[in-house]
Amino acid sequence: EPGCIGGLSDQVIFDRVLNNHREYADQHYEWSFGDAAAGAWAISGKSKDSATGYVTAHVLEQPGQYLVSLLVSDESGTLGSYTVTITVADPDTVYAGNSTICVANGNDFTGCPSGALTVGSTTNVAAVEEHIVSGRRVLFRRGDTFDVTETISGAYAGPLTLGAFGSCATPDAQGICANAPILNGTLVADSMFSTASQGWIDVRFMDLSFVDGSGAAGSALLGPYKMTDVLWLRLRTRGFDTPLGNSHWEHRGHDQVTVAECDAATGRGNIIYIGANRLALLGNSFRDPDDSHVARVWHAPMAVISHNQLSGSSINSDTGRHALKLHTPEESQLADPGPSGLDGRSRYIVFSDNLIGSSGPWPVAIGPQSDHYDERVSDVVVERNRFFPGFGTPSCCSNPVSVALLIWARHVTVRNNIFSGDGSDNGYTGIFVGPRGIEPSPVGTRILNNTFYKSDSGSGTSAVVIGDTASETTIRNNLAHFAPTGTLVSGTGINTTEDHNLVTTDAQLLDPDHVDFLLKDFRPSAGTGAFDQGLAAPVFDDFTGTARPLGGGLDLGAFEMQ
């Protein structure tokens, strides 16, 4: 199982962390999913068929058998290899005959699976609500629009799939069809689809477009009650208060929730408000909420958040929100055995290969939701992300980005990331490490092999700022180019280690100022003094996935060049 630590108790894990043994970060996990036809992620351009990291996830779409393999290694070599065979059933078999229902505005059912029940001349989803039950697949015709005039709420024990049929016109880079069936919400304040009190188990929504037709609808998909084994795949949403989400206010126990390759934008509140015991956010484009955060992850005892674009928080207000707000339950909720309680703190989280844009003044915050909550996030790996404050839609009224990454958490490893200050505030900080409020102060933060850049830096520019009570912080093998001035580290903390870093005032990088943010090139050029100058650290590859080290030692910064 991804993320399993061989049955070790929490106390043993805690003891190992105190002794600087962190299996989730200090060992290299290489995954192959046996899915050669999976293609590449639209955001990062990397293969979907492979991954690295202690926690990962993959969506298998075609029926058949897949050999999934995992290779675990550290600086001494291979520690173990594991394989498992996964069998994916054919949906035409699972939903044979009239277990599949095809729905169309007219009577064109081209592309509908053979033997399916057909429902024609239909413009309202309520007309087929009786078919949205466990054991059914309801497919809406591509190119058609269907009104949702009342909340579709049910308890589904699965399998249940809502999707599309017919030819796909001009799919975008995420595979979302230009003619995806439109589900048009004419509700006011309510959600289009919502869990009933028994929750959803084994449910898929895929290849649909949700539109807030009333301009006042609450959500496209909302899980106030338990969601388990739920997949939201290639969905497009426009409008809504919070297009996608779930909550813990009615029921605990959300588990194995995957949101993949969705395009959600222009919500009034959060674009997605989500939590689950095991959570995967993969390859999504979430952006441009009017008045709140882009993505708010309120509970994640084990999660992978990778290959996403997160940008444009609070674009029409001065509230100053995050592209990602990652927090955890209060300690009092963890002690509550009732339905209002939650199981486990947010920990063992991989945040990788994402593009973080705009969202001033603090794009990513890992830690408590406010300064008066005792919420303890720990054991997070932040790697191979691009923090680009000037990318995406800027807020009309909020301050520009001043701190790209806030670490109000414990045992966080930050490696192989690019922090560009282009488009940020003059007093730009790449990473801040310190407490937010009443939670324990950060301990054991490691900032390794990152690249920081700002070509119009002011006197307050720093790669890293360390709060007075943050302890055991390590800053190593980082490369910073700040002109005309800037510092690598401000603040001393407690027992801080700072070595083998390089700060220059002349940008000896290949093309960091390219007008197109996605074409900026932060690889070091000859003469930077970055090559083979690093000290040994738990960094196994670079920003591109190239194995480290090459040549005589680790290069400084996010790239391994020679």
- Which pLDDT score, from 0 to 100, does residue 551 have? 83
Distances (CA, A) of 494 to 17, 21, 28, 299, 393: 18, 20, 29, 29, 38
Mapped onto helix, strand or coil, the DSSP state of residue 140 is strand
**What is the residue whose two structure tokens read 């429902």?**
119
Q: Which of 352, 360, 417, 427 is nearest to 391 (CA)?
A: 360
Mapped onto helix, strand or coil, the DSSP state of residue 280 is strand
Residues of the chain with pLDDT > 70: what percent? 96
Mapped onto helix, strand or coil, the DSSP state of residue 274 is strand
Q: Quickly list DSSP for 513-544.
A: T-SSGGG-EEEEPTTSS-TT-PPP-S--B-TT
In tens, the pLDDT along 394-435 reads 999 999 999 999 999 999 999 999 999 999 988 899 999 999
Going 417 to 295 to 248 to 372, the CA torsion angle's sign is positive
189 backbone φψ class: left, alpha, beta (φ>0; ψ -120 to 50) = left
Distances (CA, A) of 520 to 239, 272, 402, 513: 32, 29, 21, 6
64 backbone φψ class: left, alpha, beta (φ>0; ψ -120 to 50) = left
Q: Which of 165, 196, 193 is nearest to 180 (CA)?
A: 165
In tens, the pLDDT along 474-502 reads 999 999 999 999 999 999 999 999 999 99
Structure tokens belonging to residue 214: 């009333």
User: What average pLDDT does the segment 457-473 reach?
Assistant: 95
Distances (CA, A) of 423 to 155, 166, 401, 418, 455: 47, 43, 8, 14, 10
Q: Which of 447, 435, 381 is nearest to 408 (CA)?
A: 435
In tens, the pLDDT along 63-79 reads 999 999 999 998 888 89
Distances (CA, A) of 135 to 90, 103, 202: 14, 17, 10
In tens, the pLDDT along 215-233 reads 999 999 999 899 999 999 9
Omega before 159 within 30 of 0, i.e. cis: yes
